[in-house]
């Protein structure tokens, strides 16, 4: 991540916040960005930051479910990138997400998707706990991407950041399929018209 005056300021502010957990500065419904500017807590920028934070937490829950070392490393690396995304959103005008971030996710998609059979039916978020947690993270990622696109209608946003989130949601879908099929498991296919366990 490039060093900048804004990042130094953000780091100092974070240090102060971590020293004193409650500051009372947000009691009026506003919150401070990394550059010191205060905005409404319900603003589109804060909504996007909150989604990215929630996504990172969902990935942490997935990682804690007991994954292979390879997947553990991959998803932990992504958690670090999501902090870069949050930093970028906290510092309007700064750019942290670059082409190589997107390329890394695309390479992971290609690797894991190559090991899966072609998908001919829609699948449900099921199979096992890890697969379900991965689908949950994917859904949060989609929401973060939607809010980021909404923010981009009002303010200049690094286009690579929304591309990154789009690719990440694709990766999480592929990983959910991979996890559902692990240890001899299977994906759960959608059945049109199914009611009370009886397919149409």
Going from N- to C-terminal start, the domains of the chain cover 40-184
Q: Which CATH number fits domain 40-184: 3.40.50.970, 3.40.605.10, 2.115.10.20, 1.20.1200.10?
A: 1.20.1200.10
- Tokens 């009370």, located at residue: 196
The parts of the chain modelled with pLDDT lower than 70 are: 1-42, 197-200
pLDDT at position 34, please? 54
Helices (H), 91-158: 99-113, 129-152
Cα–Cα distance list, 142 to 139, 147, 164, 180 (Å): 5, 9, 11, 20
pLDDT given at position 33: 53
First-to-last CA distance in the chain? 54
Q: What is the pLDDT of residue 18?
A: 55
Alpha carbon 38 to its chain's center: 24
Report the pLDDT value the prediction gives residue 8, as an integer from 0 to 100: 41
With pLDDT > 70 as the criterion, what percentage of the chain qualifies?
Answer: 76
Q: What's the pLDDT tens digit per position in 88-128?
A: 988 777 888 999 999 999 999 999 999 998 887 888 888 89
Crossing angle of helices 44-63/129-152, nearest 10°? 160
pLDDT at site 7: 46
Calpha distance 58→82 (Å, rounded): 12
pLDDT value at position 111?
97
Q: Residue 44: CA atoms inside 13 Å, Cβ hemisphere, count?
A: 14
For the chain, give the mean pLDDT. Answer: 82
Q: What pLDDT is attached to residue 196?
A: 72
* Separation CA 94–CA 2 (nearest Å): 10
């Amino acid at each position: 991540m490039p060093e900048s005056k804004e990042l130094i300021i953000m780091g100092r502010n974070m240090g102060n916040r971590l020293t004193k957990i409650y500051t009372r500065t947000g009691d009026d419904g506003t919150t401070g960005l990394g550059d010191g500017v205060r905005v409404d807590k319900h603003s589109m920028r804060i909504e996007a930051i909150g989604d990215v934070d929630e996504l990172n937490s969902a990935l942490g829950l997935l990682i804690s479910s007991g994954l292979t070392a390879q997947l553990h490393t991959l998803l932990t690396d992504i958690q670090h990138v999501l902090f870069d995304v949050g930093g970028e959103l906290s510092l309007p005008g700064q750019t942290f997400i670059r082409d190589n971030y997107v390329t890394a996710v695309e390479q992971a998609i290609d690797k894991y998707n190559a090991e899966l059979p072609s998908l001919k039916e829609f699948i449900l978020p099921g199979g096992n706990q890890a697969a379900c947690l991965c689908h949950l993270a994917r859904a949060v990622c989609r929401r973060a991407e939607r809010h980021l696109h909404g923010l981009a209608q009002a303010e200049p946003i690094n286009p690579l950041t929304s591309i990154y989130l789009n690719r990440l949601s694709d990766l999480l879908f592929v990983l959910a399929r991979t996890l559902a099929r692990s240890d001899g498991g299977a994906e759960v296919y959608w059945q049109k018209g199914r009611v009370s366990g009886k397919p149409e």
